[in-house]
Structures are given as structure tokens and as C-alpha cells.
Structure 1
């Protein structure tokens, strides 16, 4: 059950500083650089987003034999990489910002590249996919004839999300969904006067028209035209009218990476068994959340990313999810008619009360997924001195318990977003909620789930344990 990302990679460099004066040589700002961040962009960014969440992902790409290519390989630590030679310089895109304001971007090695060859290992990796994301950045890989023939054959059996580029080829026939943004769709459709209509009140209708035209031209099952803060428009081959998908309003100065986050979200939700419309709605919201959290600037550095890949273990009932694959586990349990149970909390300083409650919750169904507050979430809820134990260690301790089958770490103050992805049959909390309606009850009941409580053990608490530890030094 592996996600395979196929496409072009580039080295993105962010230089951030302060601009407090103009240059004496020309009326341009002088930016005093205070921070430099290098990361893999393009298809590499999609793969890193998936790996950060613990999904089993393979990146199939080509790399240049140069310093930038070697830096890219280093930046992709934590991702299973299957690559061949690009035969061209590695593209580097450097962005300079003064505070949060872009000042300039300069590109190196970004001239049109020849269509690269693909190796047998690259083709074999694609054949092993349960879902494919084609992240085309116009560097030629998506135009390789052997790769296109393979993708066309797989499209009948495997969901393929194709993120197109104006300089790249058309998608192969039959892919599940193509995801151009509005500008890309307008250019691809070559609709006369389309650009002038983009800002009109009926821009959503315009996007729907483009999506329908492109779906027929490309022979895809669906086209999802993204519209930035205005959400997206989905047109499928079911003959239904275009569906407008709104996006939450977020304040962001840098939309970089939103399309990659959307493609990654579509892959995850289609793999977990969601229908395309549901997957698109979830992916649009996740792209907005990604930007609200800081976008690409919020992504962890390679060393932190390796530590963030959460461990997993074989599930007891002949389901062997890879590390962190709670959604795949839930799908497998449901497919065999089982009951998915979830609970949530900080689980800082795991104690006997926690273990008893978790064991009781697990006994109610066929798998138990723990929704775990991230370190940032715990700090907001408990104060700057918490958590005592970091999220990766907390997840590892929970997964060491026989009653816990998977852990999903979430950054929000409440578990609503992660529950919306998991959709458990039972949401179980400690008995300290007994006699009151759980805050998540309306959400869980919206898909037919139930909320239950298990016995509470008042003599055992993290706060009490922390206080006792402080007394002994």
C-alpha cells in the first residue's frame, strides 16, 4: 500500500532577512540575510509532506550529477528514493524575502531540459504503487514514453493524481484527477478572453467550464481546478454539474507549496478509500491549513524529519500497516466488518490510569487509534513547561502497548480535524467526562459514530505524577 510520487525535483533556497535601507548603487532595497533554508521542491516536496505524516512513499525522479543534485539527495532523507540521471543541471530556485515580503527570485539551471531516460528500477517502483502522484514541473520526466505507457496502463486500476505544468505534456488518458490551478487551466484550454474573466463574480462558473473542457480533452476521470483562497471546482465524468469546493479563509503571504499539499492530500484520502469529492474537500481544507501554519517555512529540517517518522508494527488481525498508517488500518478493519475505536489526549508521563483506559477502549472494538496532541498543541493547552516528554517518545511509548494499534499526531487544540479524517465508529474518553456530552459528539455522530466513556481513575494523573517527581529532584 505505497504512495509513489513521480516527477521533477528542484532545490528551493529561501533567503530571509531585513530591508532597512536602499542601495547607494541603485534604488533597490538592501536585504541583510539572517536565515537560509534549503529544501527539496517540486515532486520532492510532495514526497516529503507524505513522509512527514508517516505514509509509505517512494519518490521516482531524476537527479543532476552536480552539487545541487547531491544537496537534493540529502534533503530527501527519510524518503525512499528511486532515481536516474537527469542529463541536465539540477534546477535551483532562490527566493529572497524581506520579512514576509518577497523581494526577488532568481533561477539557475532552469532552462528547458531534455526528456530523461528511465531506469528499470524506476519503472518497477511505479508498478508497485497503490496510488500515484505525478508532480510535473516541466523538466521532461512526465514526457518519457516508457513512463507514460506504464502510467496509462496503471490508470485503469490505480488512482493517479496528475499535477500538470504549462511546460509539460498533457496527462495520460484515464487518470483519476488532474489538478491545474486556474491560470494553468486557462492556458491549457486556450479559451479566448478567459484571463479577463478570472476576476469576474462568475469566476467559479468560468473555472467549471474550463474543468469540463479539459476533462474531455485529456480523457481523465475528473479535473479539479484550484482557485487559491476561493477553493476549487471539481468536474467528473459522471455528467453532474461542476461542484464548487470552498476553502477556509487564511492569512498568508506565501502560497508556495499549496498545490503540492493538495496533491498529497488527495493521494492519502483516495488511498484510504474516500470518494473523489470527499477526498477533494479534505485536501482543499488541508492545503489551507498548511498555509495558515506557515506553509513551506513550517516544514521540518531533514534531521528533525527523520525523527518525526513514527514507528509502527504489524496489526494483530493480519493487517500490516506501515508506520503511522492509521487511515489504512482503519480502512482494512472496516473492510472486514470490524469496529474502529479512537481515543485522544496528551498522554504526557504515561501512567496506570492511561493504560487501564486504553485497554478498556481497545476492548470495545477491533483496533484502537490514539489521536495524540503534538508538542505545540500540548504547550498551548497545558502551558510552556509541558509536555514533559516529546511527541515522538510519547507516540513510541503508546505503540509499545499491546492495546494500541496506531497513533495519529495532530497540531490543533482539538481533535476534530483528525477525527474527520479517521471517522472512527467509537470515540472513547476517560470517565471524567461522565455525565456530560463530549465536545466531539456532534461531529462523531454526523457519520454514524458513537461517543463512550470508560472508568476514570482519580488517584492517577500526569499532574500529580509530575508534582511527585519534582519533590524527589
Structure 2
């Protein structure tokens, strides 16, 4: 089994924003009719649903694109819709997500694929129950001239450069013909662009050459029955290993990532040493529909950002776990994703130390999600109870706490040549173990003014031994609408007194 250090960082998440993803596949309009059930129909033994609301969300390849756009990636959606009312609704929703829809083909022969779910209760609250699903679709294989058009659209996308990836989102509805898939993968190879494929066909060789193929466990079991009829496994591990080997051999794909429901995800192939198994990150499961779309979208963005496959799998697994906690076809935001990384890292290895450029981008993103940033700074040479009390109080002033940490040279200039007692890396590691601290940035200047001006926090915090006049950055923070707060300190606690006491006791 392959080992994995599981150190996904906020910088990994930020890297996803700088990607361009072309999604080719079957686009679906998902409709949720919500209502109350209080009686059985006198006409037939079925519940009567009093409609209270109706929601439209993109499904299929549209949901993949929505997941990419929701975290800031550039999504280019290529699929087929009909010349009908559903297409008009779907296009409006996709544009609201800021998804590029210029590559969508309007068909005269095939209607827009639609799935209508009638739900008792509300998807936004617990206890909702799906009563019935109504599907509207017609299998029409994509015409040859439309295949050629898709290939030209994809080549145009490739020529624009950037951190790119192709997603093949095959729901088996006729858009992705075998020849189209082959042409798209060949073009990707020519431009050295990774291909991530979500397969529905049991003819897995049609996806030959994909960088990653991502079946779920049920799809894997179906293919195993065809490739190895009569196979009997002696354990779950034996079964999934056999599925992976069969899938890779039969498909001719480089790597396999298989979602295993509550058992997490497994990865095997050319870019993994052995087999990588990662446990599920779902904190609670409300609905697994769409979780596969979330997983494949994060896999593609991660590979486009040139992260290793092990890291891509971990990030995709975290994202899919968040999606499972939401009802219906759902997307996640970058803020939710960052929170999930932070929550997971608290228990194992906090990755909170960040360079100023990345931290600035992160805070800007969180501001868009209406997160209030608190900033404070200090040397924190020997962490003591006064520091901890102060930092906990600072964190309570907002949604996240950023600590500016003086570099070693900065501390020496401020405190004298005998300081710091501990180097910056050690001081940062100790601070990172505190749950109240979200991110840490080391600065070289004698004061944090330039750092504050770059990060633009909402709240600037200093100890009560300061006032507005001598608080560095107070004027600037107030000018952009922030606030400055001074927190009372625990008496008699200081690094200097600890050092003096230690010296006297020698």
C-alpha cells in the first residue's frame, strides 16, 4: 500500500483557482419540487404533495462545471441541449455560475435531458424524503458534423494555454461517441494536457489513454462481472484491488481513482507507487448524489495545477465529503473547502504558515465569502499563558485569526543580540498548534505596517498597553473601514521575565 503524508495546504486550494478546465459530457437539468405531504390521494394510493418551492440546478457535466466555477476555476462546458424551455433555464443557471457556455451545442433532434425529483420537505433542512423521480431524455448519438465542431472548439481552448485539463463526463446519453472521446484524448496528448474521465460505459476501452479514470464502486463491480465472470473475492481489499487491476488493463488508462462510498477512495496506476487508500472525510452524509461530480472536478483542477496524483486524490476526497453533507445536487465554495482542510489538519499536522502573497489571495477570497479577518503580531519567542489568553481573545473578534510573526533578524533588532531564544520556524510550529490561530506569516520588517497594508484585515488587535496613537497600522485599518481593538493582558506574564527567572535559577 502506498504511503501518503496527507499534508494538503491552503496553498493547494488556492492553486485550483488558476486552472482552465474543459468539460465535455452530458448536461442535465435537475429540478427539485419541494412540498408538504399531509394526505393520501382519493384517486390512487399515492401521497398528495402541496408544492412549496421549486429549485433548478445543473446536473451531469453541468454539475461538474458548477463545482469548478464555485471554487474559482475557469469552466468551459461543452455538451448538448435541446431547443426547448429547459435549455433556456439551464443556460441562465450556468451563466449565473460564470461558466463559459459558448461550446454548448443546441440540437433539433435531442431534447434537454431533465430529471425532476419530487421531495417531501425541504432540501435545505433535515428530514426531506424523495418521493418520485421523473426523467426526460431521448438517446440520440451525436452527429458527425457536431463531433467535428466539438473537436475544433476543444483545440481552440487548448491554444489559449494556461493550467489546463480535460474532463470527460460520460452519462451515456449519446453526446460522447467513441470517436469523439478518442479525438479529444489524442488532442490532449498532443498538447500534454491531462484527461480525467468519469465513465458510464462498460466498454471501458473507449476511454483508452485517459490520465485518470474514475469509476465508482458499483461501476467497478459491473465491469468486473464482465471481465471476470464467476470471480469470488475473499475480502473487500481483494475485491477492489482486482477491480482496479482489471479496469486499468482493460481500459488502457494510466491511473484509476475509484470512489468507495463510506470506505473513502482508492488510487492505483502509473503515477502511484502501489495502492493508495484514503479514508472518507464526510462528517455527515445527507445525500451522495453529485459527490462523484465533485470528486472528478477537484481531481481535474488539481492535476491542471500540476499537483501530484496523491495530493489530487486527497483534495478530491475532502471535497466529495463536503458534498455528501448537502442534500441534492450541490456544489461547494472555496471557503468551505478551506475550512475542511483546516479542520482535518488540526488533528494531524497543522499547515498554517503561509507566504504573504498566498495569504493575501486567501484573505481576499474569504472576504468575498463575508469572513472577518483579525490580525495581530508579535515575536512570541517563548509561548506562555499570557500569549495564549491574548490570542484566544483576539480570535473571538472575527472568523479567522492571522498572526504576523517577527523574523529572527527582526526580533534581534528589537530585543537585542541574545534573542530570539527560538528560531522563527520553531516559533511558528508552536503557534500553529493553537486552534485559535488560523494562519501565520513571517515578516522581516521591524514593524508589521507593510504586512497590514497588504493583507487589509477587518480587525487589528493589540494589547491594552497600546493605544490608537501608537498602534502600528491603526490609521490605515480605520481608513478602509476596519476596526482596532485593544485587549487586556494577563498580569505578570512575559517572555523576558521567564528568561530572567531561568537565568537566576542556574
> Please, what TM-score do these two structures have when normalized by structure 1?
0.65
Per-residue deviation at 1:95? Answer: 0.8
Structure 2 residue 371 is matched with structure 1 residue 378: yes
> Using a 3 Å threshold, how does the CA distance of structure 1 residues 290 and 367 change in structure 2: closer, same or farther?
closer
Q: Which of 265, 269, 275 does residue 232 from structure 1 map onto?
A: 265
Query: Take 1:235 and 1:265, find their aligned partners in 2: how far apart are those partners?
Result: 17
Structure 2 residue 134 is matched with structure 1 residue 116: no
Conserved? CA contact 2:60–2:293, under 8 Å:
yes
Q: Which of 149, 152, 157 does residue 186 from structure 2 map onto?
A: 152
Structure number with greater Rg is 2
Per-residue deviation at 1:342? Answer: 4.5
Match in the other structure for 1:71: 89
> Using a 3 Å threshold, how does the CA distance of structure 1 residues 377 and 440 change in structure 2: closer, same or farther?
farther
Q: How many residues align?
A: 357
> Using a 3 Å threshold, how does the CA distance of structure 1 residues 265 and 35 change in structure 2: closer, same or farther?
same
Match in the other structure for 1:455: 448
For residues 323-346 of structure 1, give each alpha carbon's deviation from its aligned partner in whole angstroms, at most 9, with x where no partner exists: xxxxxxxxxxxxxxxxxx947xxx
Structure 2 residue 238 is matched with structure 1 residue 205: yes
Conserved? CA contact 2:26–2:61, under 8 Å:
yes
> Using a 3 Å threshold, how does the CA distance of structure 1 residues 141 and 256 change in structure 2: closer, same or farther?
same
For residues 88-144 of structure 1, give each alpha carbon's deviation from its aligned partner in whole angstroms, at most 9, with x where no partner exists: 1221101111122111111112x4322334265532332234210000111122215
Match in the other structure for 1:446: none
Query: Take 1:214 and 1:240, find their aligned partners in 2: how far apart are those partners?
Result: 17
> Using a 3 Å threshold, how does the CA distance of structure 1 residues 46 and 210 change in structure 2: closer, same or farther?
same
For residues 419-458 of structure 1, give each alpha carbon's deviation from its aligned partner in whole angstroms, at most 9, with x where no partner exists: xxxxxxxxx73469x9975787369xxxxx9852563764
Structure 2 residue 462 is matched with structure 1 residue 429: no
Structure 2 residue 252 is matched with structure 1 residue 219: yes
Structure 2 residue 222 is matched with structure 1 residue 187: yes
> Using a 3 Å threshold, how does the CA distance of structure 1 residues 122 and 462 change in structure 2: closer, same or farther?
farther
Match in the other structure for 2:287: 254
Q: Which has the higher contact order (CA 8 A, sep 6+)?
A: 2
For residues 165-190 of structure 1, give each alpha carbon's deviation from its aligned partner in whole angstroms, at most 9, with x where no partner exists: 14776443211111111111111232
Per-residue deviation at 1:239? Answer: 8.1
Q: Which of 361, 364, 373 does residue 369 from structure 1 map onto?
A: 361
Conserved? CA contact 2:39–2:48, under 8 Å:
yes
Conserved? CA contact 1:136–1:164, under 8 Å:
yes
Query: Take 1:38 and 1:236, find their aligned partners in 2: how far apart are those partners?
Result: 38
Q: Which of 276, 296, 301 does residue 329 from structure 2 map onto?
A: 296
For residues 230-259 of structure 1, give each alpha carbon's deviation from its aligned partner in whole angstroms, at most 9, with x where no partner exists: 111212036843321211233223211101
SS at match of 2:140: coil
Per-residue deviation at 1:53? Answer: 1.9
Conserved? CA contact 1:50–1:264, under 8 Å:
yes
Match in the other structure for 2:105: 84
> Using a 3 Å threshold, how does the CA distance of structure 1 residues 370 and 229 change in structure 2: closer, same or farther?
same
> Using a 3 Å threshold, how does the CA distance of structure 1 residues 370 and 216 change in structure 2: closer, same or farther?
same
Gaps (5+ residues) in structure 1? Answer: 301-307, 309-340, 344-360, 383-411, 416-427, 444-448, 469-473
The two structures, once aligned, show a CA RMSD in angstroms of: 3.8
Structure 2 residue 168 is matched with structure 1 residue 134: yes
Query: Take 1:464 and 1:115, find their aligned partners in 2: how far apart are those partners?
Result: 55
Gaps (5+ residues) in structure 2? Answer: 1-18, 122-127, 159-163, 335-352, 375-397, 412-419, 421-426, 450-459, 463-467, 469-473, 485-506
Per-residue deviation at 1:222? Answer: 0.8
Per-residue deviation at 1:467? Answer: 7.8
Query: Take 1:162 and 1:298, find their aligned partners in 2: how far apart are those partners?
Result: 19
Per-residue deviation at 1:204? Answer: 3.7
> Using a 3 Å threshold, how does the CA distance of structure 1 residues 296 and 282 change in structure 2: closer, same or farther?
same
SS at match of 2:176: helix
